[in-house]
């Protein structure tokens, strides 16, 4: 027992109202973004439509019904522009679609078909750098002309050994002259010069082009690296947001600001949203220690900090993405833990992002190609892309197998996302902590008189949580002890790994 008898007896009001992430002026904000569950797609790995084994945009269109069925209401497309690499994070031409993926017309069709299903499409915008094959850089290498100052140069060769603020070798040798150019990620990705107003207007034009095509927003790659100084980044993103909202007031900017929460907060002003990188790490850590309660506590405190910057800010919870070892590998393939991880982040406020394949428990650890393997639709290999070898155990992971099995991870994801979509308190409600033992993730979400409680016991002992005098109905329980629709009040008992979601009557 973690808290004393006296505590249980005295504690009739159990929801601690200390932390409230406000929904006060909600309706003015983001019906078109907040509360929606997004799905991150690596197009090359997802679905092939033309038999070359490589995933493409028409393949994504073919699978929109699958995503809709899962409850997905937004898609983040990893880079789709013409690129020199398999992953696309070095763009060669911002106005052309990667040949392997299809055409601009295919993108237009994907957007239309997604919108018919009320699914938003957000695309990766990679503008910290271009590919070294981009025409701008090729022109700039000549040493003169309009594109020279699109990039950052020095003839001080001693800088070759200097480190960038990211901790990488910041400068690369020019292939044509005795000089260096700035490229903090890799020599094939020269950094654009954001002190040059021409660069800024080019980037704005690119954004306009895709917004006019119907794209609903951008996932901003490397959002904190455009300038080395944070203040200058903030100025840029404010200006960019103003431009974007001028084209489409409902467009959203979701930043990759990969840093600790405290260092991200200034970006909550100019960006509508960014990913909470701390959350996934913390979920993995607490699943191992069995102390789940801290997940909600720190999420709320971060969110409060962001909301202070901007009341309309929406955080994006997720487990792992295309740059990280897959969640299922991080918890050693334990499906009970996987369910708890999903139940936590899919019941927190914000706009959650599912990484493709997560819902079927795909495994993967770096190198990068292995965390971006073909989505496994079927045990019939011809139905999956073949862009890279599959090392996952196909018989276990294949979606078609999981669809047949009501107890599968896929069905659990579908249930969780379905609950979030059908219960406004879960998608848009305020959050507060519920008093519970340390091993229990315990939150309440409330909106317009509706209240939902989420209780998850990650410890090894049976735990009790006081839920007060009100009557609750079970929306979801992973233990048979509480059947759906059973009623309860005052005290609930949670088994190990038990996920229990209740709605106040």
* Residue 402 Cα distances to 225, 332, 374, 394, angstroms: 41, 19, 17, 11
* Residue 21 Cα distances to 26, 252, 376, angstroms: 11, 20, 38
**Token pair in block for residue 8:** 């249980």
* Residue 446 Cα distances to 29, 123, 196, 437, 450, angstroms: 17, 32, 47, 22, 5
Closest distance to Ca ion from the beta carbon of 60 (Å):
11
Do residues 84 and 126 touch, judged by C-beta distance below 8 A? no
Q: Which is nearer to Ca ion, 66 or 258 (CB)?
A: 66
The 485-504 site mask, x for binding Ca ion (CB under 5 A), equals --------------------
Q: Which is nearer to Ca ion, 313 or 387 (CB)?
A: 387
The residue from 90, 106, 191, 221 that is catalytic is 221
| Nearest by Cα to 222 from 184, 276, 263, 170 | 184
Residue nearest to Ca ion (CB): 56
End-to-end CA distance of the chain: 28
Closest distance to Ca ion from the beta carbon of 209 (Å):
24
Do residues 504 and 451 touch, judged by C-beta distance below 8 A? yes
Residue indicated by tokens 């700035």:
182
Do residues 373 and 299 touch, judged by C-beta distance below 8 A? no
Closest distance to Ca ion from the beta carbon of 98 (Å):
11
Closest distance to Ca ion from the beta carbon of 151 (Å):
33
| Nearest by Cα to 95 from 65, 58, 135 | 135
Closest distance to Ca ion from the beta carbon of 109 (Å):
15
The residue from 48, 56, 124, 256 that is catalytic is 256
Please name the residues in contact with 460: beta carbons below 8 A apart, sequence gap of 6 or more. 290, 439, 496
Q: Which is nearer to Ca ion, 50 or 242 (CB)?
A: 50
The 22-51 site mask, x for binding Ca ion (CB under 5 A), equals --------------------------x-x-
Closest distance to Ca ion from the beta carbon of 54 (Å):
4
Residue indicated by tokens 């073949």:
386
Q: Which is nearer to Ca ion, 56 or 373 (CB)?
A: 56
Closest distance to Ca ion from the beta carbon of 468 (Å):
55
The reply to whether 99 sits near Ca ion by the rule CB under 5 A is no
User: CA-CA distance, 281 to 302, in Å (whole number)?
Assistant: 14
Q: Which is nearer to Ca ion, 48 or 359 (CB)?
A: 48
Q: Which residues of 294-308 are buried (b: 16+ CB within 10 A; e: fewer)?
A: ebbeebbebbeebbe
Beta partners for residue 154, in sequence order: 180
Q: Which is nearer to Ca ion, 56 or 124 (CB)?
A: 56
Do β-strands 273-275 and 314-316 pair in parallel, antiparallel, or remain unpaired?
A: parallel
User: CA-CA distance, 351 to 433, in Å (whole number)?
Assistant: 19
In the region spanning residues 46 to 65, those forming contacts with Ca ion, defined by CB under 5 A, are: 48, 50, 52, 54, 56
Closest distance to Ca ion from the beta carbon of 103 (Å):
12
Give catalytic status of residue 221 as yes or no.
yes
Number of residues that bind Ca ion (CB under 5 A): 5
Do residues 159 and 153 touch, judged by C-beta distance below 8 A? no
The burial of 229, by beta-carbon neighbours within 10 Å (0-12 exposed, 13-18 middle, 19 or more buried), is given as: exposed
Q: Which is nearer to Ca ion, 42 or 147 (CB)?
A: 42
Triad 448, 449, 450: Cα angle to 5°: 95
Q: Which is nearer to Ca ion, 56 or 278 (CB)?
A: 56
The burial of 220, by beta-carbon neighbours within 10 Å (0-12 exposed, 13-18 middle, 19 or more buried), is given as: buried
What is the binding site for Ca ion (CB under 5 A)? 48, 50, 52, 54, 56
Q: Which residues are catalytic?
A: 221, 256
């Amino acid at each position: 027992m973690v808290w004393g008898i006296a505590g249980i007896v005295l504690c009739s009001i159990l929801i601690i109202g200390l932390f409230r992430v406000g929904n006060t002026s909600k309706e003015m904000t983001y019906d078109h973004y907040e509360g929606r569950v997004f799905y991150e797609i690596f197009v090359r790995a997802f679905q092939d439509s033309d038999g070359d084994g490589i995933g493409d945009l028409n393949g994504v269109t073919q699978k929109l019904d699958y995503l809709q069925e899962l409850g997905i209401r937004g898609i983040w497309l990893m880079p789709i522009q013409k690129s020199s690499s398999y992953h696309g994070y070095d763009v060669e031409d911002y106005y052309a679609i990667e040949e392997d993926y299809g055409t601009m017309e295919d993108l237009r069709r994907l957007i239309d078909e997604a919108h018919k299903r009320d699914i938003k499409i957000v695309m990766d915008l990679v503008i910290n750098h271009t590919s070294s094959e981009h025409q701008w850089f090729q022109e700039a290498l000549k040493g003169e002309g309009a594109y020279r100052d699109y990039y950052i140069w020095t003839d001080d060769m001693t800088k070759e050994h200097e480190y960038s603020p990211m901790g990488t070798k910041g400068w690369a040798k020019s292939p044509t002259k005795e000089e260096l150019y700035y490229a903090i990620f890799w020599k094939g990705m020269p950094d654009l010069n954001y002190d040059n107003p021409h660069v800024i207007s080019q980037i704005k034009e690119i954004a306009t082009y895709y917004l006019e095509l119907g794209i609903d927003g951008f996932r901003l790659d490397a959002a904190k690296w455009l300038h080395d100084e944070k203040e200058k980044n903030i100025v840029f993103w404010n200006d960019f947001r103003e431009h974007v909202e001028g084209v489409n007031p409902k467009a959203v900017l979701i930043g990759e600001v990969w840093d600790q929460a405290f260092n991200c907060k200034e970006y909550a002003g100019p960006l509508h949203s960014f990913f909470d990188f701390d959350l996934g790490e913390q979920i993995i850590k607490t699943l191992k220690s069995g102390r789940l309660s801290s997940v909600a506590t720190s999420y709320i405190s971060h969110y409060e900090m962001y909301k202070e910057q901007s009341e309309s800010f929406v955080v994006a919870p997720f487990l792992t993405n295309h740059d990280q070892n897959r969640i299922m590998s991080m918890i050693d393939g334990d499906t009970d833990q996987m369910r708890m991880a999903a139940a936590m982040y899919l019941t927190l406020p914000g706009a959650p992002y599912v990484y493709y394949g997560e819902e079927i428990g795909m495994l993967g650890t770096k190198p990068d190609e292995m965390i971006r393997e073909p989505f496994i639709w079927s045990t019939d290999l011809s139905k999956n892309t073949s862009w890279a070898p599959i090392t996952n155990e196909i018989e276990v992971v294949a979606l078609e197998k999981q669809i047949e099995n009501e107890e599968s991870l896929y069905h659990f994801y579908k249930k969780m996302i379905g609950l979030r979509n059908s219960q406004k308190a879960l998608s848009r409600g305020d959050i507060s902590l519920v008093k519970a033992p340390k091993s229990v993730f315990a939150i309440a979400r409330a909106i317009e008189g509706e209240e939902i409680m989420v209780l998850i016991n990650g410890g090894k002992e049976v735990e009790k949580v006081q839920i007060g005098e009100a009557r609750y109905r079970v929306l979801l329980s992973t233990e048979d002890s509480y059947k759906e629709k059973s009623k309860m009040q005052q005290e609930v008992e949670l088994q190990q790994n038990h996920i229990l979601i209740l709605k106040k009557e």
